[in-house]
Structure 1
């Protein structure tokens, strides 16, 4: 049973401070990766992400999780995390520098992040060659894990772009709809485009329009005008940040454009609501394998809210980060020594049960599949939004494909 109390012992405060301040290596902190006299294993965990800059929410959700749950894994598995935080400023070059420092100077036992797909792709080869457990709780890019490398050191607890396209493709192209995609001009957006085009080709379909949007753009009117002129009646927004999604939906409203279907991803939950109007989100839907409204997934989000006094920064990633830490902590506990990286990696691969609050997922991984979720539409949910931007469940993805939502 997890302790959902907002009142945490001293270790919680220490972990949060370290995460925020990016303290040094902590060589005298006891983070040896081995059991201490009380049987607790302290792991030195490198955390990479944009603490500063416009994408800072992608680091904040990790901080929230450590502040909220730092004692849970010690209680459950006798594994404690010492956080060595690195600010990559959402820059691929800074990500490469941060990862190099964590591996070569800090000698961390595992790396969590970076949360942005483009940055993860930048360091994928380096981390794999370093043979260190790589905890991918944020990125969606399938390419982040190259399964030609065996044994493989990366594990994903977020859904991948290929998985979501298997769910969205049928929905977007239903009733012979003409489909257009607007995507971020970054790794996440490009991966969304590539996988949607691949799904379309495999299923005898073709995109009517594809448009890229530079992060931070304030105007998408030309894009929407071209969609409207091309007769696009089904729109997919593969956009990294909610603020950029708001730019697109504002342009849709201003153009009086009314496509039959507007789908996007859970990234809309980041910073969209504060700069958009209810009329701009009333017809938008998302699909996700997590249940944000009840059960274990919701328990994680509620616990973050209670402990931090803030809404989860990126709900999808708050959940996937908890799942990843549960997997890694279990593996370390089973092996008994975080320094034995190969044994820890194998224990992660052989994990029996992932715990996300009261939700359990059984045996998610194989040697050639390090993804937590699958692409069965019966296991995905479709959500819309009410006038206050609260999620409302419309049905499973399978039900919405069959009956409409």
Structure 2
């Protein structure tokens, strides 16, 4: 991206890194984030960011860090909005999340809150954030329950798909040709929400889940789970698992057991830390669906820019893109209102946004309404199906609708 290249020429890598979530973004002086325009015409926003900086789930913080490092200057240039980031480490603990959110709201006086990125932690603080009446920016979580539309006006906005949406897309594929479906899911909010929505979709569409199994984070094997799948006659598997390493535990057990289901589907969480602990033979049949096009267009541009700016692979590609989208939305809203401390006006501007920009070449029009604060929908013609080559590079197999018809 042109702006990214010019940023590197002007600032250098060290200055770019200063835009990460380790302190203030954009070079604002401490205490300078008034939420209104300064002498330079730029509105400096105090943005509270909460997530697991440390611990086994740190990738769920890193994707936000990478996105700020790469794009902070872009949003300032496009919208005259600068982010002063105040970050808190919740260590992926719901209790720490509650304390971190309380500090950001009550002690730091942030103008908006981003995160936490894990669904279970977001559910833990949803009521508190809604009562705070601050714009709540959610590029990571998937659980539908986080946004309770009975609360109006609603302050949460999600730029990831929801579990209900992905189940609507996956359901027909999982149960195609009378297949018996088994789900293995994480023992956390993300996994439990996957189970709930898969079972709900199945019941509404005349199907049933043949087997359901839980995997604990960090489990060393899943042999008993896979044996129960085999004993139940399961031939279609869905893995609703938060961590890629736990997904690897399941796929390793599938291979060891000689289990050969016709269909194996999972979510984009496999892109986190799966490859380094799995073998090509264990991922050759796995497919994912996602509303983002990782291989071309604006979604791909965001990922390429992250690689160029940070020298690293995007930590969680799905969520790097979602973070870009939510920052674009929020910056536009603040620019329109002219004052980040007019929280209700900013919230309304987000809800009424006309065009979301992702990278240089992708736009999404009018995504939100009063009772819909999720960027994507569940139209299978708008979702993409991916497999993996032997190097774990994504292979585009067609849209979800096309793959249902031709059995990708």
Aligned equivalent of 1:171: 173
Asked if structure 1 preserves the Cα contact closer than 8 Å seen for 2:20 and 2:69, the reply is no
Is 1:34 the equivalent of 2:36? Answer: yes
Aligned equivalent of 1:363: 366
Aligned equivalent of 2:402: 399
Asked if structure 2 preserves the Cα contact closer than 8 Å seen for 1:181 and 1:237, the reply is yes
Aligned equivalent of 1:90: 92
Aligned equivalent of 1:314: 316
- After superposition, the C-alpha distances for 1:105-152 in whole angstroms (9 at most, x for unaligned) are 000000110000000000000000000000010000000100000000
Alignment of 1:179-190 (within 5 A): 179-190=181-192
Residue 20 of structure 1: how far off its partner (Å): 4.5
- After superposition, the C-alpha distances for 1:84-105 in whole angstroms (9 at most, x for unaligned) are 0100000000000000000000
Q: Secondary structure at the match of 1:208?
A: strand
| Pair 1:233–1:290, CA change in 2 (3 A) | same
Q: Secondary structure at the match of 1:183?
A: strand
Give me the whole-angstrom Cα distance separating, in 1, the residues matched to 2:9 and 2:314: 18
Asked if structure 2 preserves the Cα contact closer than 8 Å seen for 1:22 and 1:86, the reply is no
Aligned equivalent of 1:3: 3
Is 1:382 the equivalent of 2:375? Answer: no
Aligned equivalent of 2:264: 262
Residue 370 of structure 1: how far off its partner (Å): 0.4
Give me the whole-angstrom Cα distance separating, in 2, the residues matched to 1:288 and 1:299: 16
Asked if structure 2 preserves the Cα contact closer than 8 Å seen for 1:305 and 1:312, the reply is yes
Aligned equivalent of 1:298: 300
Asked if structure 2 preserves the Cα contact closer than 8 Å seen for 1:270 and 1:314, the reply is yes
- After superposition, the C-alpha distances for 1:366-386 in whole angstroms (9 at most, x for unaligned) are 011001000000000000000
| Pair 1:393–1:18, CA change in 2 (3 A) | closer
Residue 21 of structure 1: how far off its partner (Å): 3.6
CA RMSD of aligned residues (A): 1.7
Name which of 154, 158, 167 aligns with 2:160. Answer: 158
Q: Secondary structure at the match of 1:4?
A: helix
Q: Secondary structure at the match of 1:3?
A: helix
**Structure 1: gaps of 5 or more residues:** none
Residue 38 of structure 1: how far off its partner (Å): 1.2
Residue 272 of structure 1: how far off its partner (Å): 0.3
TM-score for both structures, normalised by structure 1:
0.97
Q: Secondary structure at the match of 2:4?
A: coil
Residue 17 of structure 1: how far off its partner (Å): 4.0
Give me the whole-angstrom Cα distance separating, in 2, the residues matched to 1:306 and 1:371: 29
Q: Secondary structure at the match of 2:3?
A: coil
Q: Secondary structure at the match of 1:82?
A: strand
**Structure 2: gaps of 5 or more residues:** none
Alignment of 1:274-285 (within 5 A): 274-285=276-287
Name which of 136, 148, 151 aligns with 1:149. Answer: 151
Residue 16 of structure 1: how far off its partner (Å): 4.6
Asked if structure 1 preserves the Cα contact closer than 8 Å seen for 2:8 and 2:16, the reply is no
Residue 11 of structure 1: how far off its partner (Å): 11
Residue 29 of structure 1: how far off its partner (Å): 3.4
Give me the whole-angstrom Cα distance separating, in 2, the residues matched to 1:13 and 1:134: 30
| Pair 1:9–1:48, CA change in 2 (3 A) | farther
Structure 1 outlier segments of 4+, above 3 Å: 8-23, 26-29
Name which of 212, 215, 220 aligns with 1:213. Answer: 215
Q: Secondary structure at the match of 1:248?
A: helix
Give me the whole-angstrom Cα distance separating, in 1, the residues matched to 2:351 and 2:332: 11
Give me the whole-angstrom Cα distance separating, in 1, the residues matched to 2:74 and 2:200: 41
Name which of 288, 291, 297 aligns with 1:289. Answer: 291
Asked if structure 2 preserves the Cα contact closer than 8 Å seen for 1:44 and 1:108, the reply is yes
Asked if structure 2 preserves the Cα contact closer than 8 Å seen for 1:158 and 1:373, the reply is yes
| Pair 1:2–1:151, CA change in 2 (3 A) | farther
Give me the whole-angstrom Cα distance separating, in 2, the residues matched to 1:111 and 1:20: 13
- After superposition, the C-alpha distances for 1:229-260 in whole angstroms (9 at most, x for unaligned) are 11100000000010000000000000000000
Aligned equivalent of 2:250: 248
Residue 290 of structure 1: how far off its partner (Å): 0.2
